[in-house]
Amino acid sequence: MPASTFIARILGPLFVIMGLGLLLEGESFRVIATEFLRSPALIYLSGIMALVAGLAILNVHHFWVRDWPVLITIFGWLALIGGIFRLLAPSLVQRIGEAVIAHPHWPVVGGAATLVLGGFLTAMGYQDVWAGPKQKPAPRTATAKGAGAAAKGPKRPRRKPGSAEPPAS
């Protein structure tokens, strides 16, 4: 399983559940976030966890491609940068966090964005499971066999049934 798929299978469902939680219990999450931001120890601990998660993702998945796996790389960088900020500037993180959660639409906008991103990553991560079993490759046809033999070199003449020696060339 490619690293992109593996990480999407973890982050996708996590983001879906987080997004649903923000949409369904927005005010509860506002209280949780407020309490979290009051604790420099929690900010520091979450910084360590974010830094480790970002480094782990980037060590196995650092692909700048024009396809969905780039989202995994971007998330890895965001986790890394967020972890560094939490460790080096916890008071700045507190001020920014307080400004964000004070906005009245924070739970709805954050929840919707997280839910959409999680749904997309889940779909990409599990697309091979939902598509059903892979079909077996079609058997090689006589022309395909002959084309492979022609590339290898001249074909030896076959023996006729019942003859002990190969036919003369």
In a domain? residue 162: no
Domain that holds residue 67: 3-130
In a domain? residue 16: yes
pLDDT given at position 125: 93
In a domain? residue 26: yes
Work out how many domains the chain is built from and give that number: 1
Q: What is the DSSP string of the chain?
A: --HHHHHHHHHHHHHHHHHHHHHHSHHHHHHHHHHHHT-HHHHHHHHHHHHHHHHHHHHH-----SSTTHHHHHHHHHHHHHHHHHHH-HHHHHHHHHHHHHSTTHHHHHHHHHHHHHHHHHHHHSHHHHT-SPPPPPPPPHHHHHHHHHHH-PPPPPPPTT-SSPPP-
**Of 160, 156, 9, 37, whose CA–CA distance to 102 is shortest?**
37
Sequence-separated contacts (24+) of 95-103 with Cβ below 8 Å: 97/33, 97/36, 97/37, 98/34, 98/37, 101/30, 101/33, 101/34, 101/37
In a domain? residue 103: yes
pLDDT per residue, tens digit, the chain (169 aa), is: 789 999 999 999 999 999 999 999 999 999 999 999 999 999 999 999 999 999 999 999 888 889 899 999 999 999 999 999 999 999 999 999 999 999 989 899 999 999 999 999 999 999 988 877 666 666 666 555 555 555 555 666 666 666 555 555 5
In a domain? residue 104: yes
pLDDT given at position 163: 57
In a domain? residue 73: yes
In a domain? residue 36: yes
In a domain? residue 143: no
